Structure 1
Amino acid sequence: MTTSTNRAQKGRARYTASRQAGRAPLEFYPTPPEATRALLSVESFDGPIWEPACGDGAIATELTKAGYQVTSTDLVDRGYGEGGYDFLKSEKPLAKHIITNPPYGTHGLGDAFVRRALIHARQTGGNVAMLLNLRSLANPDRHKKFIKTPPAAIYFLDELTCWPEGKPTSKSARIARQQYYWAVWKPGHTGAPQCWWLSTRDFR
């Protein structure tokens, strides 16, 4: 059994509770292309990008089309990038910047992704952009985290649906109906973030 297979099997255990809670298996919610296009309309990145939850390549494909060099990994092999790679166990950054739609889960998976990404960004001096659930902005468990390491920018998306497994007919499709925002952390930023609104309809 390969090392990557071992990592993947251990990583899958963290997603079990999410599946039991009615979420998509292994937290697979592909990101519609307009979400990434909207981000790139207001942010640029001065170097290579790591997509650590690449899934089927939804975000990475748009980044590549925009001219960026992208390293794509995921815990699960979905035929795109390097499968069997556990981002939460990673010790070295694979690129200067990190952009992803992290798994949210039921036991702080999203928070763990943000934390690991910021650790890597402190080494590279890069930016971190995460597509997150709008409800996460007003959560007592995250208040101190946001105050301690505030994003430099927050972009509210007016309309976006990340269907479970990319299937609107999925049994867990109701969970996909959320509101989203991009949070962008930049090195050296302190104080309140810049906030702005983006209409995904402009980028379909």
Structure 2
Amino acid sequence: MSAVAKNAHVWERDELDWYVEPERCTRQLLARERFMGPIWDPACGGGNIVLALLACGHQAKGTDIVRRVGAQETWFHGERDFLKMIHPVAGNIVCNPPFFRAKGAEAFIRKAHELAWGKIAMFLDIRFLAGADRATGLYQDLPPSRIWIVTPRASCPPGQYLMDGGKAGHGSSDWCWVVWDKTAPAPAFPALGWLTAEDEVAS
């Protein structure tokens, strides 16, 4: 089903919650977070996160529940249902997870902790930080290390809308990177900071 813009900032909802962040959001993250070892994006979509990582010199790969890229993209490692994987397979995971009213994002975060042994960075709607159930559940079970608020606002339209020739406009939602550093002791409280245009790592 094609995604169509309802107005300047609202689109029909993608059935798989495939929404595309600009590559600059990943480059901003890399200005503040150092990743050692390979990085995996298990919901890579068209590959914006993986391509930004590769351009900045990282060893990176992507998988997704469906293929959205051509066969020539050697960084794509196949169609995989991330939530059904059972063995540790990655040093680091960097991902814009399918949100599904926060349930999808939380499921991805918990699964990432089962499969990664380095850093986990999730690109999330900033409202995800405010859920009362997560305050007494997810964030107590898995305290984040750092939260990076993305500025300026990023426009994240449905991937199908972009594939159909649509263009991202000005962002109207707020986004953040939430980072769990499994190589360091869990903090009592996460550090909070802002990513600005000046933070963007050049590829």
Normalising by the smaller structure, the TM-score range is 0.7 to 0.9
Give a deviation string over 1:139-195, Cα, whole Å, max 9, x none: 112112113321111001121111112637999x99x73210000001232311111
On the 8 A contact 2:91/2:119 being kept in 1, the answer is yes
What is the RMSD of the two structures over their aligned residues, measured on CA atoms? Answer: 2.5
> Equivalent of 1:165, from 140, 153, 159?
159
Q: 1:28 to 1:170 in 2, by over 3 A?
A: farther
Counterpart residue type for residue 37 of structure 1: R
In terms of fraction of residues, the more helix-rich structure is 1
- TM-score, normalised to structure 1's length? 0.79
Q: Aligned pair 1:101/2:91, yes or no? A: no
Q: Aligned pair 1:155/2:148, yes or no? A: yes
Equivalence for 1:76 = 66
Q: Aligned pair 1:53/2:48, yes or no? A: no
How far apart, in 1, do the equivalents of 2:157 and 2:85 lie?
28
On the 8 A contact 2:31/2:199 being kept in 1, the answer is no
Equivalence for 2:190 = 193
Unaligned runs of 5+ in 1: 1-21
On the 8 A contact 1:149/1:190 being kept in 2, the answer is no
Counterpart residue type for residue 146 of structure 2: A
Aligned residues: 179
Percentage identity across paired residues of the two chains: 37
Unaligned runs of 5+ in 2: 1-11
In terms of fraction of residues, the more strand-rich structure is 2
Query: Structure 1: which 4+ aligned runs deviate by more than 6 Å?
Result: 168-171
Q: Which has the higher contact order (CA 8 A, sep 6+)?
A: 2
Counterpart residue type for residue 21 of structure 2: T
